[in-house]
Structure 1
């Protein structure tokens, strides 16, 4: 018979009712020896499904506040699938992958892609190609479908074999920040231009989904060659912002299961100090990545913006 409580249970074992809060569900999984496998992906998705009770839903049980998973770049999987798209990938670590939410409107999407390609060229990096992410939206609720972006991946080759991994990550960051400012500001309010991730290390699959829907929607995640040694999963309970595809977690660097009460003061301090920023690593590119914080993001994404910048 299921337990039924009309008030908090009494303190027992590791449980203490004073720590009761309503917020998101998070999970993390890693192979201790760094061995990549599809089992890590499967186990992480199992954890995510078990976090269903921590995620929010509206009046539709098949429209979630958000759910997703962060994984390592699955080189073996991409090597196989990109050939089908006419993309010849270099060795692992020699390319970056951007996961983008784009406008559903074909003309608007094409304009975004063309301008992004121009920015990549201006930053002296080489675009290898685009891949449309295969999805199945048949299980989504009407609200999730109505807001759903067109989802594509772009692949960028490191233009200098002497460039370190960190330097390449920094270059991808510069490209993304430029694109967000120069392209995102032109996109219609009801459309999307958003990078869930843009990295040579990790990739994020997320959306306005329930925990059960993540690998039903993103077909890539079910392929046996999709492998990772780490995984972060998140089931979102939207407490102080509206649900959206963009505001689902994981963010690019972190997952979070609470609210940051000092967020507005922190953001204001960051903006106030940007005029005095100097950087030996960014050099002349520093101005391209400002402002650091996206003021339209959630408190978690604002923290993620800051963490990414300092990293």
Structure 2
């Protein structure tokens, strides 16, 4: 059971702004926050961390540019979503096929998969050996009902 007096959890930092648009400066502050929380994260035997991430808005400009580059037609009136997946490098194709089949069941249109760029040079040996392949599935809602779409994503999250 959670105990407020315990202080052994990994660190979490939040930087948020409601009134200004996202900026590169904000991203730099977030990265500084991550660096300052290094002592709060779990470490492998080789002294390297177990990973950290940054949550941002969906980069719609990037997604639209990639859709255009890949010559993928998309109805701009439909919602776009991103599915973040951490795949075993040995089973990427099977995993993607499984997810694509489930998406069809829920009338969610798969637009494309993108491999998330990572820099494995910064990882220690243990982390590099166990590093998953990170992909993002770009999808579009075929449903008009946002409620149904949200329910579908909750189910897919459990896969």
Same fold (TM over 0.5): yes
Return 5+ residue gaps in structure 1 as ranges.
1-18, 181-311
- Cα pair 2:78 2:140 within 8 Å, conserved: no
The corresponding residue for 1:209 is none
- The question of 1:97 aligning with 2:78 is answered no
1:33 aligned to 19, 22, 46, which one? 19
* Cα deviation, residue 85, structure 1: 4.5
Residue 86 of structure 1 deviates from its aligned partner by 4.6
Distance in 2 between the 1:46 and 1:85 partners?
35
Q: Does 1:76 align with 2:64?
A: no
* Of 28, 32, 41, the match for 1:42: 28
Match of 1:113, SS state, is helix
1:4-46 deviation line (CA, Å, top 9, x unaligned)? xxxxxxxxxxxxxxx6834322111111316333332222112
Structure 1 residues 45, 148: closer, same or farther in 2, change over 3 A?
same
Q: Which has the higher contact order (CA 8 A, sep 6+)?
A: 1
Q: Are residue 173 (structure 1) and residue 157 (structure 2) matched?
A: no
Calculate the aligned-residue CA RMSD, in Å: 2.4
- Quote the residue 2:139 is aligned against: 156
Aligned length: 155
TM-score by structure 2 length? 0.82
Aligned with residue 137 of structure 1, among 113, 117, 120:
120
1:89–1:136 distance in 2 versus 1, CA, 3 Å: farther
Contact 2:44-2:126 within 8 A present in 1 as well:
no
- Which residue is equivalent to 2:130? 147
Q: 1:32 to 1:119 in 2, by over 3 A?
A: closer
User: Secondary structure of 1:97's partner?
Assistant: strand
Structure 1 contact 100–151 (Cα < 8 Å) conserved? yes
User: Are 1:123 and 1:175, in contact at CA under 8 Å, matched by a contact in 2?
Assistant: no
Q: TM-score, normalised by structure 1?
A: 0.45
Q: Confirm whether residue 57 of structure 1 aligns to residue 40 of structure 2.
A: no
**SS class of match (2:110):** strand
**What are the Cα deviations for residues 162-206 of structure 1, in whole angstroms up to 9, with x where unaligned?**
323x542222222333xx1xxxxxxxxxxxxxxxxxxxxxxxxxx
Shift of 1:82: 4.3
Unaligned stretches of 5+ residues in structure 2: none
Distance 1:75 1:103, change over 3 A: same
| Residues 255-283 of structure 1: CA deviation (Å, up to 9, x unaligned) | xxxxxxxxxxxxxxxxxxxxxxxxxxxxx
Shift of 1:145: 0.9
SS in 2 for 1:28: coil
Q: 1:135 to 1:89 in 2, by over 3 A?
A: farther
